[in-house]
Amino acid sequence: MEGDPALRLRVFDLNCWAIRYLSKRRQERIRLIGDRLCQEGFDLVLLQEVWSERDYSDLKAKLGGCCPYSHYFRSGVIGSGLCIFSKFPILDTLLYQYSLNGYPYMLQHGDWFCGKSVGLAVINISGIVFNVYVTHLHAEYCREKDAYLPHRVVQAWELLQFIRHTAKAADVVLLGGDLNMHPQDVGIRLLRCWTGLRDAFTETKHFEGCEDGCTLIPNNCFTVTSELQPFPLGIRIDYILYKAGSGFMVRCEELQTTTGTAPGMDIPYSDHEAVMATLHVQRMGQAAGVTPSTAVPALVEVLSEARTEVRVGLQAARRQRYSSGRMALLALLLLLLQAAAALGALAGLAEGQPFPKLSFALLAFLALGVLLLATGLHLFHTIEVKMLQGTEEQMRMALGVLQERPGRS
């Protein structure tokens, strides 16, 4: 009811960069993160890149007093890296794995192996239903020539569709995570326009932390400074977004980020900065509190832009599907030729032995290896084409539905 005392909610979000054997001073940093969370007593903690279940268990044991409820979202070989800690009981969870997530052969990037996903936890706080989402999208390794942009746009689309379809009965929607997108990138504009989610950084009354709210900053000793060269202040790619359902109002009272080194220590918590928001949630009259919808022309514009990116990706995927298919065919042809030559030699058609046996066997194994590899790649790019086509079609359908709606400005 209107006039109810506001609910004050403190939310913590961090990409923990906790990759076993690879991340520097991992266990020490996980301990530091746990200590900070215990001291500050957040209501909701959304973490990414907690790849080791052992680290999750350590955090769980440490946070047992302040955030006794938690969930670790499992997916893929390595996991999703996503987990959530809460002061209030988690009633239900659901995981949605993105259909595209980079390429298995880009071993140096490794995103493909992670089973990148969005996790949903339904939490009831003082009778208010919160749909809390935590996610981590594909990294951007080269902004000028970003080969993963179409995959990230597909992920943003799947994320917004998942939120739209699952949050219809929620009183408050919260999304935290490393979106790997700058605030003006097409994916995040698409996400915000279509879900009505608001960015805590732009909405907050009071901000304290890195300039421009950056969460990847040059003076964090774990960041690769060369990657941040075009951005002297750093970049903002970690977000807390929120939206109130019908009959509710959410305001961001305060937003903070960490600023490199942890207090009293010589290292930061992670290569990312944490984002910490204090939200006020208030129950309003029945009709109030709904986030105003974005105007149709703006929706059409951002969706068309995203669709163009997906189409560019589709063309590239088709080319790669074609060349891997051709390579597989050539390898098969070589194998067949070898088989014919071997049969010919066995049948005594050729004079003597046409090739030294060892080179012949090595060549055959090489051809077999190429055949298997190229076939695998061809299947992979076939899936990629299908998923990009599927997204393109869904976007087309959404544009059609929009254009039939009476225009609002």
The CB-of-402 to its own copies minimum distance in angstroms stands at: 11
Q: Counting contacts by CB under 8 A, is residue 93 touching its own copies?
A: yes
DSSP 225: G
**Phi and psi of 148, rounded to 5°?**
-95, 0
Residues 266-295 that bind its own copies (CB under 8 A): none
Contact segment (CB under 8 A) with its own copies among 22-30, 92-100, 211-219, 340-348 equals: 92-100
Q: Report whether 110 contacts 104 (CB < 8 A).
A: no
The contacts of residue 232 (CB under 8 Å, 6+ apart) are 218
Q: Applying CB under 8 A, which of residues 27, 161, 308, 323 lies at the interface with its own copies?
A: 161
Burial of 239 from C-beta contacts in 10 A (0-12 / 13-18 / 19+): buried
CA distance linking residue 41 with residue 130, whole number of Å: 19
DSSP 407: P
Which among 272, 280, 378, 381 is annotated as catalytic? Answer: 272
The CB-of-318 to its own copies minimum distance in angstroms stands at: 14
Contact segment (CB under 8 A) with its own copies among 96-104, 177-185, 212-220, 284-292 equals: 96-104
Q: Is 21 left (phi over 0), alpha (psi -120 to 50) or beta?
A: left
Is 272 known to be catalytic? Answer: yes
Contact segment (CB under 8 A) with its own copies among 40-48, 71-79, 214-222, 343-351 equals: 71-79
Number of residues in contact with its own copies under rule CB under 8 A: 45
Question: Which SS3 state, helix, strand or coil, does residue 146 take?
Answer: coil
The contacts of residue 54 (CB under 8 Å, 6+ apart) are none
Q: Applying CB under 8 A, which of residues 112, 162, 201, 239 lies at the interface with its own copies?
A: 162
Tell me the angle at which helices 149-166 and 357-404 cross, rounded to the nearest 10 degrees: 50
Q: Counting contacts by CB under 8 A, is residue 91 touching its own copies?
A: yes
**Phi and psi of 258, rounded to 5°?**
-70, 165
Q: Counting contacts by CB under 8 A, is residue 361 touching its own copies?
A: yes
Q: Applying CB under 8 A, which of residues 95, 288, 330, 370 lies at the interface with its own copies?
A: 95
Q: Counting contacts by CB under 8 A, is residue 169 touching its own copies?
A: yes
Q: Counting contacts by CB under 8 A, is residue 336 touching its own copies?
A: no
Single-letter amino acid code for the residue at 347 = A
- Pattern 233-272, binding to its own copies, x per CB under 8 A? ----------------------------------------
- Residue number with CB closer to its own copies (104 or 344): 104
- Pattern 119-158, binding to its own copies, x per CB under 8 A? -x-x------------------------------------
DSSP lists the bridge partners of residue 44 as 11, 86
Q: Counting contacts by CB under 8 A, is residue 389 touching its own copies?
A: yes
Spell out a b/e string for 167-176, using b for 16 or more CB atoms within 10 Å of the CB, else e: beebbbbbbb
Q: Counting contacts by CB under 8 A, is residue 383 touching its own copies?
A: yes
Question: Which SS3 state, helix, strand or coil, does residue 251 take?
Answer: strand
The string of DSSP codes covering 324-354 is HHHHHHHHHHHHHHHHHHHHHHHTT-SSS-S
Q: Applying CB under 8 A, which of residues 65, 145, 287, 357 lies at the interface with its own copies?
A: 357
- Residue number with CB closer to its own copies (41 or 390): 390
Point out which residues bind its own copies (CB under 8 A).
71, 73-77, 79, 89-97, 99, 115, 120, 122, 161-162, 164-166, 168-169, 357-358, 361-362, 365, 379, 382-383, 386-387, 389-390, 393-394, 397-398, 401, 404
Query: Which residues are known catalytic residues?
Result: 272
